[in-house]
Amino acid sequence: MWKPMLPKLSESVPSTNDWAFEVKYDGFRAMLEITESGIQLISRNGKDLRPNFPEITGFCEEQLGKIRPFLPVRLDGEIVILNTPLQANFPILQQRGRMKRRDKIQEMASRRPASLLAFDILLKEGNKLTSNPYDVRKNLLFKLFHDLGWDGPVHGGKRIAFVPAYDQLEELREEVFTHFGEGIIAKRKKMPYEEGKRTGHWLKIKNWRNVKGVVTGFNPQNQYFQLSVYHEDQLVPLGSVKHGFSDEEYRTLSTTIRDRGKKSGRVYSVPPGICVQVHCLDATDGELREPVFDQFRLDLVPEECTAEEVKKDLLMFPDEVEVTHPDKVLWPEEYILKTDYMMYLRQISPYMLPFFNDKPLTLIRYPHGVQDTSFYQKHRADYAPDFVHSYEEDGEAYILCKNVSALIWLGNQGTIEFHTPFNRIRDPYPDEIVIDLDPPSRNAFPSAIQAARLLKGMCDQLGLHSFVKTSGNKGLQIHIPLPLQSLSYQESRHLTKSMAELLVKEHPDLFTVERLKKKRGNRLYIDYVQHWEGKTIIAPFSARATEEATVAAPLFWEEVNDSLDPTSFTIMTMPSRLKKMGSPWQDYDEKRNRQPIDRIRMLLGNLEAKV
């Protein structure tokens, strides 16, 4: 039976150059072995995982012709269901692992497919590689994936990906923090793969969440301390903790509970009085995930340990940002407070920040809420902290948002709407095309659905990968990612103008390209003119200044149907939607480089020849 090499938990990070660093994913450790006689997918405990993850084995079967020259091959990795490239969804994976019915497994595999993220190679062409140093094995694994065309992230039907290694820790640590990743693995470069051993040559550094609770019980038999928090003036269970105490801390706490507590059966209960802080990966339904005692919190009184504070602690707000006036009402109709909005921005940051990449922002700020006055801001304020970056052009400093701290800080300044240009700094070419579908009213939203479907059909015919989102108000927006420096604004305008005019020609009673509102009547306006240098569009996942606190929500194309309601996507619903369904735009960047630009240029040439 396969016995994997295991890492040791460490609070400190190696600082010498003989270490490499990888993302630690929150999933099921697994060995994938492919031979001429079959495919094995085995857990670290020897369980056959093939029935529960048919999409992984199915991908291997499809790729058997490619991989045959390298057989037999054995990979070590982690089975995950990804929310973002660095964030795995362990609860949904755990649910999948418990499933028995084949039809339910297939349904889940189609809706939220799992992937194997391979970080080591143990066998190739029948040659055992475990005695080779880590860096040699890593290079062999990378070359194999490159030869197979498996390099790059998981996407579409590709269900196996390569976990890269980094020599520098800090940038990776920041990315793991941003994405709520499980942690980082440090691996000594020159050491072999030691099967079945937990050694100091592999170290796991957890991306801990620190939550605070009140000690309310103790079970001497299993040595667990029960913790609780206040919710609406009532104590509710937070979870139990056993590990992390020094001998003296354990002895002091257990003795105090025995002296002051009340015994019922084998368990002691104690009135709230002692507050503690615990490391964990999550806290849900009265349970702590991988809890480790951190410290006593003598500075707190029990009433300060609340369920609301636990929610905030789990979101890992950056230390350098102070949220001011958290109880300010930003959306009066829904009674949404500033603290709710800050929590939304932190949760959405892994999904939102990639769309700010090298793009100067235009902000719309509502310092006193969406029903009060607002103003635009493009320039970086002189008082902005260093982590809010800028781009200087012609002596003007424009805002760049590169990290969680900057996003939270800008939100704390009253920024409700984030708008982005269509091109990146120092690049005159657009990196995406956006067509805005603007119906005359919310009641006319079905016309936006119809127009979006028709445009999707056009894109499909051209081989263009397209994405759709709500505008956050009354319309829809079609995004077409472009390879960098591929089409000019003039070329993209020619394309979108042709597509829009074709729709208007076929449905003149429904659609128009007339910019003057008074001439549109009840027709939907197809806005291709807004896509131009210097202009902006609402960013994906940005909130809007509507009564309902709606969001410019990326959609799956299959959601664009008659039941679509743009008001259902709000700052209160989006985080849970993303955890349940994943991001519809997860492969946006991957599709960027697969656009048929040569075919589009040929089409544009033909269009120009007809003019």
> pLDDT digit string (tens) for 440-485?
999 999 999 999 999 999 999 999 999 999 999 999 999 999 999 9
pLDDT at 413: 97
Catalytic residue among 3, 8, 24, 505: 24
Quick one: how far is CA 421 from the chain centroid?
22
In DSSP notation, 415-431 reads EEEEEEESB-TT--SBS
CB contact at 8 A, 420 and 399: no
Kind of pairing, strands 6-9 and 198-206?
parallel
What does residue 497 show for φ and ψ, rounded to 5 degrees? Answer: -60, -45
Any alpha helices (H) in 316-394, and if so which ranges? 338-352
CB contact at 8 A, 505 and 446: no
Give 432-603's CATH code, choosing from 3.30.450.20, 3.90.920.10, 3.30.420.40, 1.10.1060.10: 3.90.920.10
**The pair of three-digit structure tokens given for residue 13, joined into one six-digit string:** 């990070």
The Cα-based distances of 514 to 107, 434, 502, 503 in angstroms read 45, 17, 14, 13
Over the stretch 202-215, which tens digit does the pLDDT of each residue have? Answer: 999 999 999 999 99
CA angle 93, 97, 101 (to 5 degrees): 120
Q: In angstroms, rounded to a whole number, what is the distance separating the alpha carbons of residues 307 and 610? A: 66
pTM strictly above 0.85: yes
The mean pLDDT value for 556-572 works out to 97
Q: How confident is the model at residue 607 (pLDDT cuts 50, 70, 90)?
A: low
What does residue 346 show for φ and ψ, rounded to 5 degrees? Answer: -65, -40
Domain 6-205 has CATH 3.30.470.30: yes
Amino acid at site 145? F
In DSSP notation, 524-577 reads EEEE-TT-STT-EEEPTT-B-SSTT-BB--EE-GGG-STT--GGG-BTTTHHHH
- The radius of gyration of the chain from alpha carbons, rounded to an integer in Å, stands at 27
- The 3-state DSSP class for residue 519 equals helix
Q: At what angle do helices 445-462 and 597-610 cross, to 10 degrees?
A: 100
**The pair of three-digit structure tokens given for residue 356, joined into one six-digit string:** 């700010």
Edge-to-edge strand ranges of the sheet holding 6-9: 6-9, 198-206, 183-188, 19-24
The mean pLDDT value for 276-298 works out to 96
Query: What is the location of CATH 3.90.920.10 in the chain?
Result: 432-603
Neighbours of 219 (CB within 10 A): 15
pLDDT at 162: 96
pLDDT at 610: 59
CA angle 210, 582, 461 (to 5 degrees): 155
Longest dimension (CA), the chain: 92
Over the stretch 138-158, which tens digit does the pLDDT of each residue have? Answer: 999 999 999 999 988 887 789
Any alpha helices (H) in 54-133, and if so which ranges? 54-62, 64-67, 90-98, 102-111
Per-residue pLDDT for 611 more than 80?
A: no
CB contact at 8 A, 545 and 417: yes
Which residue, chain included where needed, has tokens 């549109």?
520
Query: What is the location of CATH 3.30.470.30 in the chain?
Result: 6-205
Question: Which letter, b or e, does each residue of 425-462 get, where b requires 16 or more Cβ atoms within 10 Å of its Cβ?
Answer: eeeebbbbbbbbbbbbeeebbebbbbbbebbbebbeeb
pLDDT at 99: 96
Domain 209-314 has CATH 3.30.200.190: no
pLDDT at 13: 87
Of 279, 287, 284, 190, whose CA–CA distance to 9 is shortest? 279
Of 457, 467, 437, 395, whose CA–CA distance to 528 is shortest? 437
Over the stretch 64-118, which tens digit does the pLDDT of each residue have? Answer: 999 999 999 999 999 999 999 999 999 999 999 999 999 999 999 999 999 999 9
pLDDT at 609: 60
**The pair of three-digit structure tokens given for residue 156, joined into one six-digit string:** 């579409």
Over the stretch 255-276, which tens digit does the pLDDT of each residue have? Answer: 999 999 999 988 999 999 999 9
Is residue 72 reached through a cis peptide bond, with omega within 30 degrees of 0 on the bond before it?
yes
Q: In angstroms, rounded to a whole number, what is the distance separating the alpha carbons of residues 341 and 81? A: 27
The mean pLDDT value for 110-133 works out to 97
pLDDT at 608: 63
CA angle 52, 57, 63 (to 5 degrees): 165
User: For the chain, what percent of residues have pLDDT higher than 70?
Assistant: 99
Mean pLDDT score across all residues of the chain = 95
Q: In angstroms, rounded to a whole number, what is the distance separating the alpha carbons of residues 222 and 330? A: 47
Per-residue pLDDT for 604 more than 90?
A: no
Q: How confident is the model at residue 603 (pLDDT cuts 50, 70, 90)?
A: confident
Is 497 an annotated catalytic residue? Answer: no
Per-residue pLDDT for 29 more than 60?
A: yes
Q: In angstroms, rounded to a whole number, what is the distance separating the alpha carbons of residues 13 and 185? A: 10
Query: What is the location of CATH 2.40.50.140 in the chain?
Result: 209-314
